[in-house]
Each structure stands twice: as structure tokens, then as C-alpha cells.
């Protein structure tokens, strides 16, 4: 592979400079992405078309010197394949026509088949790997069981998570049945991506941070740990590194690091230096510039990048990223400033 910095950093091996990729690096802030999405007709049509999903995955790599590509897809592909009727309302995000809000609805759910029901994702992975031709590694991903369950039970985004939290308190056994089904589905789905060519995988636990500490361990972390344990090697027999990212999970870094994952993603509310002290050499750390810093002046962006690199300190095991995804109104030139600053300013830490 021409550039394997990311995979080396995930294994905590020395690198010449800190690798960088960005959550939502292919997205609405790029005019070429918006044009391709318009061409596809809808967001899900874009996900289902392997050639167009490949095109938008490659777009940020043409503009920026990124150290990884991430599969273009959505975390809600699994519930969509379960027949919940995913649709998107402009300005309101994803919604489901058939949310599952009681034991009977959950009992009716079946586990989707990774190659049949979600074969379009595997086709996209194979297409992207072919197009990348060893340039940088490809990251596959899935939503965490808890995060998927929040959308499935609430029927869409939520401010208070009242339905799923009521279920967690009143009928935890029913929620655990749903989470168990989702853990099995996510494991199969990620193993399908690995078989198709994903070289690292990330589990996005977007809503883990809304739980109590006990709730997080019971309803989110336990199921992510089950997935990590169920991941298989790639077709060549190599272990595929897994990154766990819980937004709002800063209080539980030690427990996340103990799951057997290779890297812990940090949001912007955590100091990366103290995170490194807390987890020691057990895992790599990924993060964690505040995405809103990309609205700032380029000189400020450089300064903030430098501060995170300095706070992490010398030595291997850091993957630079944002603390969450790139937001739609960001100027692409500011993303270039960030990527270039990471490579330039980290070179001295790795000699």
C-alpha cells in the first residue's frame, strides 16, 4: 500500500507523520458532492449506487492529502433493511415510517442478510477498493446497536430520547432483545465489509453519551464489545483494526479501551493528553478538533491543530480527526488548512 500511516497508527507502530481523516469528509460542504447527490436523485439512491458511492468517497481525496477513505453510506442501512421505511425530511434528518415501540414490534424484526439485503454496501466497498488501488486504506463502518435502536424506537432524531429511555427503565428485557439482534446484524454487516475489502472499521455510537453511566455499560458498551469480539480477519488472515467512537463518552474511556478495540475516538469535550494518560498504551486515540473550529480563520485552525498534536505528545498511536463530522457550511479551503497543518506540524514528533 502506498500510504499505510493510518493502519500503522491503529497498531500503534511508528509513522513519519500523524495520519488524518475526517468524519463526514465526503459531504454537503463539497459542491461536487452536492452535484453527485442531485444526480443520484436521493441520498439513499446515492448509497445504493456503487459507482456514485465510490465517486463521492473519492472526492475528498482529490482535494485533500487525506490518509484514509471512508465508505460512503449511512448508519441507518441496517434498520432500513429490516423494513422500517427510512425516509429523509429536509432539515429534520432521517425518519422511520414504522418505528418499533413495543415488544410485539421488536419480536417481528428479522436480521438482515449482509450480502443479500445489504449487498449494495458490499458492492460499494469492492468498487472503492478497486478505485483506490492501494493509495490509502478504506474504512468501513456501522452504527452502534444503541444508536440504531434510538432511531428505530423514537422513529427519528430525538432531543430527550423519551421512548427508548422509558423502555430501558420499564422493560429492559425487550430493549436488550432489540440490542442483541442489532449486535448480531452489525457484526455480520462489518464482517461483510471486511470480506469485501474494508481495511479498518469504525462503530459510531452517536447517542451513547445520553445514557447514565450504568445505562451506558448495560445498553451500549456491552453490545459494542460483543461486536468487537465477533469481527473476523480479512481475506488474507490479518486482524482488521476497530475504532469505537462514543460521542459524549469521555467519562468512560477506560471502559471503552477495555473492550478489545484498537482505537478510541474522542469528541471535542475531552483533553487528548489526559485521555492518553488514562488509557496508557492499550489503544490508539483518534480525534479530536472541535468541528466548529473549521469556521475560524486558517491561522487559528493551524494553531488549534498544533495544540492537539502537542497535547497528545510524541510517539505513535494518534490518528487526527474532528470530534464529530464536518458540518455542511464549512469552507473546503479550511479543511485543506487542517489536513496540511496536521502533516506539517506532526512531522517533527515522529523522527
Task: Cite the active site residues.
Answer: 24, 28, 37, 74, 151
- H/E stretch holding 265 reads strand 263-265
- H/E stretch holding 48 reads helix 43-48
Is 151 annotated as a binding-site member? yes
- Helix, strand or coil for residue 88? strand
- Helix, strand or coil for residue 43? helix
Q: Judging by beta carbons within 10 Å of its beta carbon (0-12, 13-18, 19+), is residue 323 exposed, middle or buried? A: buried
Angle at 75 between CA 153 and CA 270, to 5 degrees: 95
Longest dimension (CA), the chain: 59
| Peptide bond before residue 28 is cis, with ω within 30 degrees of 0 | no
Is 26 annotated as a binding-site member? yes
Is 323 annotated as a binding-site member? no
Is 59 annotated as a binding-site member? no
Is 216 annotated as a binding-site member? no
Q: 40 near 55, Cβ under 8 Å?
A: no
To the nearest 10 degrees (0 to 180), the angle between helices 172-196 and 162-170 is: 120
* Strand 93-96 to 86-89 pairing: antiparallel
User: Pick from 178, 172, 184: which is nearest to 152 by CA?
Assistant: 178
Q: 84 near 152, Cβ under 8 Å?
A: yes
Is 206 annotated as a binding-site member? yes
Which residues are annotated binding-site positions?
A: 24-28, 74, 151, 206, 324
Question: Which residues contribute to the annotated binding site for substrate?
Answer: 24-28, 74, 151, 206, 324
Amino acid at each position: 500500500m502506498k500510504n499505510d500511516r493510518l493502519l500503522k497508527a491503529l497498531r500503534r507502530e511508528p509513522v513519519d507523520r500523524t495520519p488524518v481523516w475526517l468524519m463526514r469528509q465526503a459531504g454537503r460542504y463539497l459542491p461536487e458532492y452536492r452535484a453527485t447527490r442531485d444526480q443520484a436523485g436521493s441520498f439513499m439512491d446515492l448509497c445504493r449506487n456503487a459507482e456514485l458511492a465510490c465517486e463521492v468517497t473519492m472526492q475528498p481525496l482529490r482535494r485533500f492529502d487525506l490518509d484514509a477513505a471512508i465508505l460512503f453510506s449511512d448508519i441507518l442501512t441496517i434498520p432500513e433493511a429490516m423494513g422500517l421505511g427510512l425516509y429523509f425530511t429536509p432539515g429534520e434528518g432521517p425518519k422511520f415510517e414504522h418505528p418499533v415501540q413495543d415488544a410485539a414490534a421488536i419480536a417481528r424484526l428479522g436480521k438482515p442478510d449482509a450480502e443479500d439485503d445489504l449487498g449494495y454496501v458490499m458492492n460499494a466497498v469492492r468498487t472503492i477498493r478497486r478505485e483506490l488501488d492501494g493509495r490509502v486504506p478504506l474504512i468501513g463502518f456501522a452504527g452502534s446497536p444503541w444508536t440504531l435502536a434510538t432511531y428505530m424506537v423514537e422513529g427519528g432524531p430525538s432531543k430527550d430520547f423519551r421512548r427508548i429511555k422509558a423502555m430501558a427503565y420499564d422493560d429492559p428485557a425487550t430493549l436488550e432483545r432489540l440490542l442483541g439482534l442489532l449486535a448480531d446484524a452489525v457484526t455480520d454487516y462489518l464482517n461483510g465489509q471486511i470480506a469485501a475489502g474494508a481495511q479498518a472499521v469504525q462503530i459510531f455510537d452517536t447517542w451513547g453519551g445520553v445514557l447514565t453511566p450504568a445505562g451506558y455499560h448495560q445498553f451500549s458498551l456491552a453490545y459494542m464489545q460483543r461486536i468487537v469480539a465477533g469481527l473476523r480477519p480479512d481475506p488474507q488472515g490479518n486482524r482488521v483494526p476497530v475504532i469505537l467512537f462514543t460521542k459524549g463518552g469521555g467519562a468512560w474511556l477506560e471502559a471503552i479501551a477495555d473492550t478489545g478495540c484498537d482505537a478510541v475516538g474522542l469528541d471535542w469535550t475531552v483533553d487528548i493528553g489526559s485521555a492518553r494518560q488514562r488509557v496508557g498504551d492499550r489503544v490508539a486515540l483518534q480525534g479530536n478538533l472541535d468541528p466548529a473550529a473549521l469556521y475560524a480563520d486558517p491561522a487559528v485552525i493551524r494553531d488549534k491543530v498544533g495544540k492537539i498534536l502537542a497535547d497528545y505528545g510524541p510517539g505513535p498511536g494518534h490518528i487526527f480527526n474532528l470530534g464529530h463530522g464536518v458540518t455542511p457550511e464549512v469552507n473546503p479551503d479550511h479543511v485543506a488548512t487542517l489536513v496540511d497543518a496536521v502533516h506539517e506540524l506532526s512531522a517533527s514528533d515522529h523522527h
